[in-house]
Structure formats: structure tokens, C-alpha cells
Amino acid sequence: MADSNMEKVQAKIAQLEQQLKTWAREYYENDAPSVEDAVYDQTYAELTQLAATYPELIGADSVTKQVGGKLLKPDLPEVEHPVPMLSLGDVFSIEALADWLKQTQANFDEQLAYNAELKIDGLAISLEYEAGQLKRASTRGDGRTGEDVTANVREIKAIPRQLNEAIDVEVRGEIYMPKASFVKLNEQREKEGLTTFANPRNAAAGSLRQLDVKITKERQLAAFLYHAVDAERTLGVETQADLLQRLTALGLPTNPSNAVLQTIDEIQAYISEQVVQREQLTYGIDGIVIKVNDLAAHDELGNTVKVPRWAIAYKFPPEEAETVVKAIEWTV
């Protein structure tokens, strides 16, 4: 490519990186986004397309290689995640999802099964239990270092301080704010002349990352757990679907809407069903997560620096379409 063209691409990449970093700071660190997620996603997709064509122009500090945001609340102690808390790759159409299934299946001779789950619109949490007792809770942060929110999590009724078995396990999932609590909170804030939260996810994050745990208690947060570190060894399970059942048996809140599916047609039917059910839910979801069901296959597929290769998020189209600059094609 001619030098001047290359310079143009380089300048475009720098501009996209800078814009995305500014939005990510507002979103992850201040819990106060200034643009809709769809605008962020679309700009991010533009950058990943350029990154695929010109990988040599993408630095190690690119947003395409990082999870979440840096830490901003200096008074919340840091927690290291020896097993990083990752993000998820995403797709916006059934065709792209079908391609992902094909690519994933190509690594195996036997037909894979997938566990489909709702993508809960909250913030990721890690809960460490020792001998069945909740010892520590932490946020994802940048994936490797999160914030210690143990005192806050102890105020969330849905999260047990003690499991039904005296085992050591680190479970991960999502803390969310139910739709009704979100509406009530914003109404109250408006009355008090305070800024309102942009969405339930930012409200949940802002309510959890608090020095004053009374605030967390008042905000009525809830949780769903869907992952355990080294689940095969610590919990004796072989599939993602069994893991969810095991977490439920331990007394942890799990989402009941998962299904084990095989073909893209089955997955598409599940997605269509969830799109219809979505309005009735008392909490927000922003997509469907498709995970390879066999946990041994997770180990074989591994992760990139940012996402696991054994899972993908199918994102729903935005609810307020007019805020999207250009239309992205969604097919369900």
C-alpha cells in the first residue's frame, strides 16, 4: 500500500482508539457513559475490522486487546485475579454466529453441544468461598486486577455468605439491578436533583463500587452466577449445564433460562424465543451467550488475551435505534 494511504489508516486507527478509550473511561471508571452502547460497539467493530487487515498497526495497549477499564476508586483495595476475568467476543447477526459455530466445530471430530444462556446486563463479579464461607468478592477491573467489594457484596441478599457445602471455590457471575429498582432509584435521584444513571448496568456498577456499604444495601442489587474457576476439579462437573445445576445446589442464584442446543437452527429458535420473553423479565439482558457445553473443550480451545474461544455473545439490536449512527444488520 502507498505510504500516504498507510498514514491515513494509521491516523484513523489512532482516532478510533482515542475515542473508544475516552468512552471506556466514562463507562467503566465513572459508571457514566455519554453514548449508547450501540455507538460504542459500532466504533469498536470499525476498529477490529482495521485491526484484522492491518495487525501490524495495532499496539499492545489497543482497546481491542484490553478488558474493561483501569481502577479509579483508590480507596477500594486491589485484588489480583490469577485466572483473568475476561470479556466475551460478540456477533450481531445469525450469519456471524453460524460462522463462529463452524470455526469452533472445526477443532473437533465429534459434534459439539452448546449451552445457551441469557446475557445479563450487569457487571462481572468474582466470589471466593473458603470452606463454604464467602471470604472475598471482587470486580473484574482490567481483568487482572479488580476492586475488593467484599463488604458491599455482603449486603446483597441474593448472595449467600455460606454455601451448602464446606468447599473452596471461586465462582463468577453478574451483579445486576432489577428494572424496578432502577426506575425507583432514578426517580428518587431526579427528585433530589442528582444526575440519573444511564442504564441498569451503570447503576449496578455505581451502587456496588461504594465505600459506604449502606448505599449498596439500599440499592437492592441481585446476582446470577454462571462460572467457576477450574470447575471440573473443584466441583466435579463436566459440562456448563451441569455446572449451573451444581451452583444452584450450592445455594447460589443461577438463571433458569439456559438450554443445551446443537444446531444453528436450534440456537436461532432459542434466540427468537428469548427476544419475545425479554420484556417480561424483571432484569435487563443485552444478548445471548453461547458456550461450548463440554468443559474439557474449554481447556482445549483456551482464550485470547481478551476473550475465551469457547463462548460468544450474540448481542441484541439496540432498543433506541435512532441513536445509532449507521445501521448494523441484525437478523433476528
As annotated, the active-site residues are 119
Minimum CB separation of residue 7 from ligand NAD in Å reads: 28
Q: Which stretch binds ligand NAD (CB under 6 A): 51-59, 104-112, 116-124, 187-195?
A: 116-124
Rounded Cα distance, 86 and 310, in Å: 12
Cα 223 to Cα 70, 160, 261: the distances in Å are 23, 11, 25
- Which grid cell sits at 197? 444513571
87 is in an annotated binding site: yes
243 binds ligand NAD (CB under 6 A): no
27 binds ligand NAD (CB under 6 A): yes
Please name the amino acid found at residue 205. Answer: A
- Which grid cell sits at 257? 433460562
Minimum CB separation of residue 24 from ligand NAD in Å reads: 4
Rounded Cα distance, 97 and 330, in Å: 11
73 is in an annotated binding site: no
117 binds ligand NAD (CB under 6 A): yes
298 binds ligand NAD (CB under 6 A): no
Q: What are phi and psi of 118, to 5 degrees?
A: -75, 145
Q: Helix-strand-coil percent breakdown of the chain, rounded to 5?
A: 40, 20, 40
23 binds ligand NAD (CB under 6 A): yes
x/- contact string, 167-206, with ligand NAD (CB under 6 A)? -------x--------------------------------
124 binds ligand NAD (CB under 6 A): yes
314 is in an annotated binding site: no
117 is in an annotated binding site: yes
Q: What is the largest CA-CA distance in the chain?
A: 65
Rounded Cα distance, 230 and 140, in Å: 17
Q: Could you say which residues in the range 217-236 bind ligand NAD, by CB under 6 A?
A: 226
57 binds ligand NAD (CB under 6 A): no
Rounded Cα distance, 174 and 226, in Å: 8
With residue 286 as reference, give the H or E element that holds it. strand 285-292
3 is in an annotated binding site: no
292 binds ligand NAD (CB under 6 A): no
Cell 448496568 belongs to which residue?
Answer: 201
Q: Could you say which residues in the range 76-105 bind ligand NAD, by CB under 6 A?
A: 87-88, 90
List all residues 6 or more positions away from 85 whose beta carbon is below 8 Å from its beta carbon.
67, 124, 126, 140, 141, 143, 146, 172
Cβ closer to ligand NAD: 9 or 71? 71
Q: Site residues (CB under 6 A) for ligand NAD?
A: 23-24, 26-27, 33, 35, 37, 40-41, 68, 87-88, 90, 117, 119-120, 124, 174, 226, 289, 313
